[in-house]
A and B are shown apart, each in its own frame.
Chain A
Amino acid sequence: MSLSEATNPVRHAEVLVTLRPGLIAAVAGDLLRPKFGRLVSGHARRHWRGVRLLSSAMSSELESVNLPTELLDEAREAVRRGEVDSVADYVAEAVRRRLTKDRALTQVTELFGGPPPEDVLAMVRQRAGLPPHRTAS
């Protein structure tokens, strides 16, 4: 499995995953950069490539991501249930979905020249029976 973890006292785990270069580039871009960890060092990259991490080396790269332990546990459970082949696949799918969503939100915001007023968003969410929008911290 293309995974290494080291649980720390705040219940986060470091996960090494292989992602396609396109996803890496998008993740490393401005859109999601604050939410993801650093790129692993060349030494670690070579080490893990030797272990077997990059079985499809021409189409994937190595990324180090810190995840809350409970999320990692759920990803592993999905692998056990056979829903995905590996935790790396699970993470890649999650990143792909997030990028699709963020790109759509960006397109809408650009079309309107900015986000809608908060009170209008709140009204829409209330009418849809959704909880109030989370504000950025």
Chain B
Amino acid sequence: MIGGRVFDVSAIVGFTTARSVYAEALVMTAIEENIMIAVPSAALARAAALIAVGHQLGLDVLLGLPCTVVDALDTTPARTVGVLLQQAGQPGLDVAAAHVVHCASNADGRS
């Protein structure tokens, strides 16, 4: 994954519930300028748990955009995220946040 922007939980929730005009502007700019939006799967899971019933359409829109890529937390990144948490001295910290950091460092992007 090279370049682009990484969406954390608050950005996913803010866009999906249409409460964040910043997230809207970010997504519209990404579409217009062909900038990739990375959605870490761990953050997606957390956001999906927080999004109230009735906002599923927003999630469908985000995940269906031509510029959206979901970053899967499969074997290798899962181990890397675990090491990241361990190195931070906070093994109990939110996995979703650590996955966002991992994606951002890989993408050289900004969350």
Contact = CB atoms under 8 A, between A and B. Distances in A.
A108 B35 contact: no
Interface string A99-137: 011001101110111011100110111001010000000
Contacts of A113: 18
B22 A124 contact: yes
A120 B29 CA distance: 11
Contacts, number: 59
Given A100-B66, A104-B65, A111-B61, A120 B22 contact: yes
A123 B36 CA distance: 18
Given A121-B29, A125-B29, A104 B22 contact: no
Given A100-B66, A101-B31, A128-B29, A108 B21 contact: no
B32 interface: yes
Contacts of B29: 121, 124-125, 128, 130
Given A111-B58, A112-B18, A128 B33 contact: yes
| Interface of chain B, main secondary structure | helix
Contact of B26 (A111, A112, A117, A124): A124
Interface of B: 18, 21-22, 24-29, 31-33, 35, 57-58, 61, 64-67
User: Sorted from nearest, which 10 A-B pairs have the closest CB atoms?
Assistant: A116-B25, A124-B25, A120-B25, A116-B21, A116-B24, A121-B25, A112-B18, A112-B24, A104-B31, A107-B61
8 contacts: A104-B31, A104-B66, A107-B64, A108-B24, A111-B61, A116-B28, A124-B25, A128-B33
